Amino acid sequence: MSPSRRRFVGSAAALGLSSPLPGRAQATRALTLQTAGLGDAEAIGYFVALEKGWFRDEGLELKVLPGGREAPPEAAVLSGRAEVGLAPLDGVIRAITVQKAPLVIIGAQFQKNPIGIVSLASRPIRSPRDLVGKTLGVAVADRPAVEALFALNGVDPAKVRIVPYANDPRPLLKGEIDAALDVTTRAPFTVKTGGGQASSFLLADFRLPPFGDVLVVRRDTLAARRADLIGFLRAGRKGWDENFRDAAAYPPKYAESWFKGAGRSIDSEIYVNGAQKSLIQHPKGVFTMSDASIKACVDALRALDIKAERTHFDTTLLARV
């Protein structure tokens, strides 16, 4: 997965797999979820809930559409292709503030964005200031995130050598770079399989917005389908809770279905599933958006000249889950 899927600063450019289950007696209402990336462990909670029939228990026939760079979830929601999108926070807020899109965030899947700076444990980079005098690998699409990190943490960008990066930590293992902007729940697995041990820190721990992918809907959908959206959140939370009971148990189940064609090993998906547990779970339940976390997101985005508001987040559905 490219970190640009969850870039902190980027454009909200406009623009499958379905999930049939054995039928049950009651009628169901169709609901489509557009994810941020290809079928992988970052959406596994929804796959588990589908397998268990928990969306059907809520009267929903859920269809899950895989995302990617050519299918921004916020655009799918705006076009009506999906009722719910799992999208990067900054893309949603930019769509609202710049494009005046009638979108609202109803839940946060990632309490902390997994994007961060990955280095080797043998020569660890533990903070933005540790990058001074070092070589940092950054994908072109992710340069704005690094610029924001430097600006918010008093790092002179002229003192860090930035080189192109293809979201592959092998140059790190070879010593060609000192660190890379990457997904901290994925890159360490590649480092480990290459014979190294990774060290990392999250951008979210250094003044960037804490939330990663968030659940977004159109405001008219929020008004018209409140009960269905509450049911979606309830079933999705059950799926994530069940998944995290044993993070190694569920990825193998989807090797020939949801994960097929994503180009990743099941071992890597087991690793990701375990690594993301602490970033997704919350004492009050998956998808929680506390007032403090919302304020932290708003303040961080405003520091980046993105005019976020508390009204862009709606917690009334979560209060009913």
* φ, ψ dihedrals at 117, nearest 5°: -105, 120
**How much is the pTM?**
0.90
Q: What is the pLDDT of residue 12?
A: 34
What is the residue-averaged pLDDT of the chain?
Answer: 91
For 56, half-sphere exposure in the C-beta direction (CA atoms, 13 angstrom radius) is 15
| Domains, the chain | 3-112+210-320 (3.40.190.10), 115-205 (3.40.190.10)
- List all residues 6 or more positions away from 124 whose beta carbon is below 8 Å from its beta carbon: 130, 199
Percent of the chain with pLDDT over 70: 91
Q: Rounded distance, CA 183 to CA 212, Å?
A: 11
pLDDT tens sequence across 198-238: 999 999 999 999 999 999 999 999 999 999 999 999 999 99
DSSP3 helix / strand / coil % (the chain, rounded to 5): 40, 15, 40
Average pLDDT over residues 248-254: 96
- 209: Cβ contacts below 8 Å, ≥ 6 apart: 8, 89, 90, 113, 296, 297, 300, 301
